[in-house]
Structure 1
Amino acid sequence: MTTIREARPADVPVILQLIHDLALYEREPDAVKNTAESLRNALFGERPSIFAHVAEDHHQVQGFALWFLNYSTWEGVNGIYLEDLYVRPEARGAGHGKALLANLARIAADRGYARVEWSVLDWNGPSIRFYESLGARPQSGWSTFRLTGDALAEVAALR
C-alpha cells in the first residue's frame, strides 16, 4: 500500500540517491552536482526553497516528488512546479507516481493554486503516456529557455 508523506530530514540520503538514479535514467549520469548538505538546506534550512514528498511502501521509500512554488501573473496566484518525479523501476506500476501527482494536485486545489506543471524529455514515451493518462497535456507554442554557465555569467555582468 502506498503512503505519501512530506519528506523528513532523514530522507535526504535516499532522495539524493533517487536524484542520481533519475539522472542515470535521463542519460545524464554525471550531471548531478547536488550534495546531501545542499539538499538538506534547500528542503529544511532556515528558508526552505523547495518541498518534497515521498511514496513509501512497507516503510521503504519507492519514489519522490520535489517541487517549488511558481506564480502566474495572469491568474494572480501561485502554482506548483514539479521539478522531479521519480519512482524506482522495480516499484513502477504500483501507483506510486499517480499517488504523488494526486497529492500535489490536492495541495494545489486546497490552496487555490492555478496549476501543477512540469517538463518531460521528448523521448520519454512511458512518462508522457502516463501523464496524458491522467489528463495532463503538453503546452504547445512554448519553448523552454535556460541561462547557465558562461552565458549566465555574461548576462549577470550586464549593466
Structure 2
Amino acid sequence: MTMIRAARDDDFFPWLTLYEGYAEFYHQPLTDQRSVKTWQWIVRGDHGLRAFVAENGDGDLVGLAHVRTIAQPLEGTTALYLDDLFVAESARGAGVATELLEFLRSLASSEGRSGVSWITADDNAAAQAVYDKLATRTSWVTYEMAAQSTSSVAEESGP
C-alpha cells in the first residue's frame, strides 16, 4: 500500500534521488545548487511550491509531485498546478502516479480549488496513458520564451 504525504525536512536525500531521476528522464542536467535551491523552496514554501511524496509499505519514497497554487483569471478561481510528477522506475505500473494524481484532486477540492492542471512532454506516451484515464486532454499549446539578459535590457532601456 502506498501512502501519499507532504514531504518532510528529513526526506531530502530520498527526495533528491527521485528528483535526479526526474531530471534524467527529461534529459535536464541537475546541479547540486539547483537541487538545494528547489528543496529550500519546498521546505520554506517559497513561490508557493509544495512537495508530496509517495511512500511504499517499506517506508521508501517511490514518487513525488511538486505543486503550487495558480490563479485562473478567466474562471475567477484558483487551481493547483503540477510542476513535476515522477515515479521511480521500480514502482512504475503499480498505480503510484494515479494515487498521486487522485491525492492532488482531493487536495484541490479540500482547499476550494477548481482543479489540477499540468503539461507533459508530447512523446511521454506512458504518462499520457495514465493522464488520459484521469483528466481531460486540452487543446492548448505551450510556449516558452527566455528572459532577456540583464545587459540586453539595459541597452534597450537607454541612458
TM-score range, shorter chain: 0.7 to 0.9
For normalisation by structure 2, the TM-score amounts to 0.85
Identical-pair percentage: 29
Question: Structure 1 residues 153 and 128 mapped into 2: Cα distance closer, same or farther (>3 Å)?
Answer: farther
1:107-131 Cα shifts (integer Å, max 9, x gaps): 1111221121111101110111110
For normalisation by structure 1, the TM-score amounts to 0.85
Aligned length: 154
Alignment partner, residue 144 of structure 2:
146
Supply the distance in 2 between the matched residues of 1:74 and 1:63 (Cα, whole angstroms): 33
Write out the 4+ residue segments of structure 1 that deviate beyond 6 Å after TM superposition: none
In 1, are the aligned partners of 2:47 and 2:68 still within 8 Å (CA)?
Answer: no
In 2, are the aligned partners of 1:55 and 1:100 still within 8 Å (CA)?
Answer: yes
Unaligned runs of 5+ in 2: none
Question: Structure 1 residues 110 and 14 mapped into 2: Cα distance closer, same or farther (>3 Å)?
Answer: same
Alignment partner, residue 41 of structure 1:
40
Structural mapping, 1:64-103, within 5 Å: 64-103=64-103
| CA RMSD, Structure 1 to Structure 2 (Å) | 2.2
Matched position secondary structure for 1:63: strand
In 2, are the aligned partners of 1:81 and 1:117 still within 8 Å (CA)?
Answer: yes
Structure with larger Rg: 2
More helix by share: 2
Supply the distance in 2 between the matched residues of 1:9 and 1:3 (Cα, whole angstroms): 17
1:48-79 Cα shifts (integer Å, max 9, x gaps): 63001100012110011011111111222211
1:111-153 Cα shifts (integer Å, max 9, x gaps): 221121111101110111110012x12221x22222325x364
Matched position secondary structure for 1:35: helix
Q: CA deviation at 1:155?
A: 7.8
